[in-house]
């Protein structure tokens, strides 16, 4: 029995909230708080007849720490689930710290304004010291470790699918299948088709920033950076089929490199069709992916935010998306002195997700683990003081709940590997 404050009411939040309402024993009360309160009210109205969970709503600007503190003091939650945007991670963590309340999120901190000189100076030093140029990294949130520990509260970072489930798959493989993991290939395949010439499956701004950036992977103790989409492989995904996939930088590589002892290489691949890549390149070439403000007819606009306004809302893709996702990890390593390779993955069907919760599979595969992470923190199954990535907790209860709440997984002990 517990009380969860959920911040954000977009695609991922919608699924997480549906799933909390299927688990009223843990989530006896939830408050949905976001910038646009009407979205929270609409969801409340839709769900309250179907669940024993008591739902309230609130308006909050999550960029404003004082507003967040006032809301937390008023609602008195046991934990806060951040499913707004990565821009709000630090303000929400600050508010949780001030009120001594546990914190859960699905994506690491990234600044909204990448031209801010103070942030830029720290970023440029990090690029030099660490060797990767992505705008996001864990250093900002790991810096809260001592303060969360002293306050006696938990921050659970990255409770989505990737990061999230892929990280828990890693902890599970290490616990049950390997003495030592040598390589990890994380494969993210979306075999779905929404019928639009171009759309993104989650927040367009965050998504396009991620996939247009340089690629990188971890090898022998350091980062190797590539040009965007420089490394391409083909893979025959179970239940989806043959797809092209490209190496990207992805945030869980950073935490897994720290948390998997002796790991030699970690790579992340995502599938893209040629049409998606051609659209993205064209938008990039004309400056539409830029995060730097420009003046247009006397007012300042940020090109990528303007593009977001033109693109379909990811939350609206549910009814039109058909096909399946397949996301998982291939591990190589040793058990009892013998070489071993396994592949742990989940297959999720877009239309089945839509029938159950009204969303496509990308929001579903992120929203379900967000609920599971929040449940394990609320029920004190995962209870450590400080800031932790999800692979630092016991994977078993999370793996059981994936099967229970709609994301069953498969272990293949003889998989095709990636060159
Ligand atoms: P959406 O854009 O659909 O939703 C974001 C929500 O946050 C909206 O309701 C928005 O409000 C709200 N919001 C934005 N800014 C503020 C603010 N200042 N104050 C209060 N509320 C605010 O995004 P998604 O649902 O697609 O993504 C949510 C999170 O999930 C992101 O952090 C994303 O990176 C992460 N994610 C993680 C994945 C993983 O596997 N780990 C995969 C996919 C996404 P409004 O409605 O007014 O715009």
pLDDT of 67 higher than 90: yes
Assign domain 165-357 to a CATH class. Answer: alpha beta
Model ipTM value: 0.99
pLDDT of 210 higher than 90: no
- pLDDT band for 65, please (50, 70, 90 cuts): very high
Give, for ligand 1, the residue of 33, 59, 68, 85 to mutate: max count of ligand atoms closer than 8 Å to Cβ. Answer: 85
Per-domain boundaries in the chain: 2-157, 165-357
Distance CA 322, CA 348 (A): 11
| Each residue's pLDDT tens digit, 307-328 | 999 999 888 898 999 999 999 9
pLDDT of 38 higher than 90: yes
Query: What is the Å distance from ligand 1's center to 112 Cα?
Result: 13
Helix (H) or strand (E) holding 5: strand 2-7
What does the pLDDT read at residue 291? Answer: 86
Under CATH, which architecture does the 2-157 domain have? 3-Layer(aba) Sandwich (3.40)
What number does the ligand 1 atom closest to the CA of 163 have? 41
- The helix/strand/coil state of 274 is helix
Distance CA 338, CA 173 (A): 15
- The helix/strand/coil state of 299 is strand
- pLDDT band for 128, please (50, 70, 90 cuts): very high
Specify the DSSP class assigned to residue 322: B
Q: Is the CB of 305 under 6 A from ligand 1?
A: no
| Each residue's pLDDT tens digit, 355-401 | 999 999 999 999 999 999 999 999 999 999 999 999 999 999 999 99
Distance CA 73, CA 214 (A): 42
Given the structure tokens 């010439």, which residue do they identify?
197
């Amino acid at each position: 029995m517990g009380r969860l404050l959920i911040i954000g009411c977009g695609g991922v939040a919608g699924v997480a909230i549906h799933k909390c309402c299927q688990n009223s024993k843990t989530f006896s009360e939830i408050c949905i708080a976001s910038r646009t309160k009407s979205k929270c009210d609409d969801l409340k109205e839709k769900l309250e007849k179907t669940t024993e969970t008591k739902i309230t709503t609130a308006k909050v600007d999550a960029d404003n720490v004082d507003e967040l503190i006032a809301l937390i003091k008023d609602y008195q939650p046991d934990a806060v689930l951040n499913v707004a945007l990565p821009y709000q991670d630090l303000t929400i963590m600050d508010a949780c710290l001030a009120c001594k309340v546990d914190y859960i999120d699905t994506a690491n901190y990234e600044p909204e304004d990448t031209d801010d000189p103070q942030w830029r100076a720290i970023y440029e030093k990090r690029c030099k010291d660490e060797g990767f140029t992505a705008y996001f990294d864990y250093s900002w949130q790991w810096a809260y470790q001592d303060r969360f520990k002293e306050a006696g509260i938990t921050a659970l970072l990255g409770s989505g699918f990737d990061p999230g489930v892929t990280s828990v798959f890693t902890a599970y493989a290490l616990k049950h299948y390997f003495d030592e993991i040598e390589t990890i290939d994380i494969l993210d395949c979306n075999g779905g088709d929404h019928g639009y010439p171009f759309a993104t499956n989650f927040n367009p701004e965050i998504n396009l920033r991620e996939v247009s950036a340089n690629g990188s992977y971890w090898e022998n103790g350091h980062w190797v950076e590539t040009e965007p989409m420089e490394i391409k492989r083909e893979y025959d995904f179970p239940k989806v089929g043959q797809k092209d996939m490209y190496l990207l930088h992805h945030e869980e590589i950073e935490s897994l490199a720290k948390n998997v002892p002796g790991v030699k290489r970690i790579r992340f691949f995502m599938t893209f069709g040629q049409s998606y890549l051609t659209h993205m390149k064209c938008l990039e070439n004309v400056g539409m992916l830029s995060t730097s403000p420009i003046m247009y007819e006397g007012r300042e606009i940020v090109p990528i935010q303007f593009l977001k306004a033109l693109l379909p809302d990811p939350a609206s893709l549910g009814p039109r998306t058909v096909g399946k996702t397949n996301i998982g990890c291939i591990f190589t390593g040793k058990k009892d002195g013998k070489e071993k390779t396994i592949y742990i993955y989940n297959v999720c069907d877009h239309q089945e997700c839509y029938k159950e919760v009204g969303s496509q599979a990308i929001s579903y595969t992120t929203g379900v683990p967000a609920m599971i992470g929040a449940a394990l923190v609320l029920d004190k199954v995962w209870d450590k003081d400080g800031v932790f990535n999800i692979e630092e907790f016991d994977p078993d209860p999370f793996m059981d709940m994936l099967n229970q709440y709609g994301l069953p997984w498969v272990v293949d002990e003889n998989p095709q590997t990636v060159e």
